[in-house]
Amino acid sequence: MPILPIDSGRYGSKEMKEIFDEYKKLEYELKYEAEVAKAQAEINLIPKEAAIEIAEIVNLNKVSLNRVKELEKVSDHDTAAIVEAINEQCSDKTKPWIHYGLTSNDVVDTSTSMQMKDAFKIIKSKIETLIRELLNKAIENQSLPAVGRTHGQHASIISFGLKFAIWSNEMLDHLKRIEEGEKRFLLCKTLGVVGTGSVMGEKALQVQKIVSEKLSLFPTEASTQVIPRERYAEMIFIIGLIGSTLDKIAIEIRNLQRTEISEVQESFKKGQMGSSAVPVKKNPIKSERISSFAKILKSNVSIALENISLWHERDLSNSANERFIIPTSTILIDDMITTMIKIISGLFIEKEKILKNIEITNGQIFAEFVLQLLISKGISRIEAYKNIQRIAFKATEQREHFLKSLSKDDFIIRNITLDELNSIFNPQYQLSASSQIINNIVKKAQKMNIYVNNNL
């Protein structure tokens, strides 16, 4: 009976959950045992006939999950149960060479790397799709002036499209982090009980090199009985970092969808209900779900860091929690990226409201540009700043438009013409380098073979 929402099908894609399914996990572990045996036979560590038989048993699916579970009930050891299940299918001549020179975590850690290699393929592909959606929105809205907010207050003019370009740039860097990190955490280990190579002796590294190449993984350079957990901590941190960026995007969308701002809205399908009590509500539930999952991912980073410190050549204080944090983090980040793709692709952008919001402060959002014009005329920054502040505060008290207050102030009249003032208060003129920045991010994506329709 399903207990967690992941198990019930509420969250997580079918393709990602299959990677962490117990049947698939056993498949990875059996494949590892077969590849190690073949590598050992290749350099004459074990008889070739033994390696062939082990590989045949694995390939013909003669080791069942049910049988492994039955054996584990007796041995209370999952990897030992797999070895015993293989042993039951082998001839007497082959039995001595099963799991030769290996320890449990050689199997566990390498099969985890195999899982994550397949998982990151899915994640990277979805990130690329998200980047395209973000850049499409950046290009479409590059010329749309909007309110730029700092501390929750109106600060200056921003290109609405720049928001999406900034987010896409972070996702591009996340792709790089994954690709750069894979050589550090997608590791293959065959070095036995305490990381010496155990009974395989000097040929242990040769075996590891062969197996790593066969499994498209990277050989462990040095380890104890387990792959150093710094590697897993980095992997979980990267997942958490991606989740934090998605959370940042989600929070911005949630804020922009607030009734008082109303600049964007998540898609709302026919028949959807925003509230069980208030029929008129359209809530940003997809973005809120992303923010909720992000809390789990960030917490899992802390657990992964705790797992680095193990006793001597290893203990089991990491083992149980890794069965949670690795699949859970991976399944959730996949779900979060998929959800964000849906949010961005279906996002309704209320352009009229965006332009209308610029005038909420009665023109005071243009103060930065008035200040700069005065400075360009040789007036000190402090003098210009204090005079603009004086005029703005007075305009607020009198509920007067900032442009009107400026145009009748003696200090301003002495230094700025009316034509110059009017040009400042056109938001279309205040987008500065926005289009160039967006164009640079598009080019960066193209260098990484991610292409969008660029009409810049």
Q: Is residue 244 among the annotated active site residues?
A: no
Report the b/e string of 102-117 with b at 16+ CB within 10 A.
bbbbbbbbbbbbbbbb
Q: Which residue has the higher pLDDT, 222 or 3?
A: 222
pLDDT for the residue 7: 84
Q: What average pLDDT does range 243-258 have in this prediction?
A: 98
pLDDT for the residue 274: 63
Within 8 A by CB and 6+ apart from 411, the residues are 387, 391
Q: Which of 158, 162, 340, 169 is nearest to 251 (CA)?
A: 340
**Which one of 64, 143, 275, 317 is the catalytic residue?**
275
> Residue 387: which region, alpha, beta or left (left: phi > 0; alpha: psi -120 to 50)?
alpha
CB 257 within 8 A of CB 266: yes
Query: Strands 187-188 and 218-219, how do they pair?
Result: parallel
> What's the whole-model pTM score?
0.94
Q: What average pLDDT does range 341-355 have in this prediction?
A: 97
Q: Is residue 151 among the annotated active site residues?
A: yes
pLDDT digits (tens, 9 = 90+) for 393-445: 999 999 999 999 999 999 999 999 999 999 999 999 999 999 999 999 999 99
Per-residue confidence at 61, pLDDT binned at 50, 70, 90? confident
Distance CA 301, CA 230 (A): 11
Which tokens sit at 145?
């002036």
For residue 3, pLDDT beyond 90: no
In whole angstroms, how far apart are CA 369 and each of 149, 385, 405? Answer: 16, 11, 15
Distance CA 445, CA 451 (A): 7
Per-residue confidence at 4, pLDDT binned at 50, 70, 90? confident
Within 8 A by CB and 6+ apart from 239, the residues are 297, 300, 329, 330, 333
pLDDT for the residue 1: 73
Paired residues of 176 in beta bridges: none
Q: Which of 372, 364, 438 is nearest to 395 (CA)?
A: 364
Within 8 A by CB and 6+ apart from 84, the residues are 71, 75
For residue 456, pLDDT beyond 60: no
pLDDT digits (tens, 9 = 90+) for 74-121: 999 999 999 999 999 999 999 999 999 999 999 999 999 999 999 999
pLDDT for the residue 218: 98
pLDDT digits (tens, 9 = 90+) for 186-197: 999 999 999 999
**Which one of 91, 151, 312, 376 is the catalytic residue?**
151
Paired residues of 388 in beta bridges: none
For residue 275, pLDDT beyond 80: no
Question: Which domains, and CATH codes, for the chain?
Answer: 5-97 (1.10.275.10), 104-357 (1.20.200.10), 364-424 (1.10.40.30)
Percent of the chain with pLDDT over 70: 96
pLDDT for the residue 280: 56
pLDDT for the residue 210: 98
Distance CA 124, CA 1 (A): 32
Mean pLDDT of the chain: 95
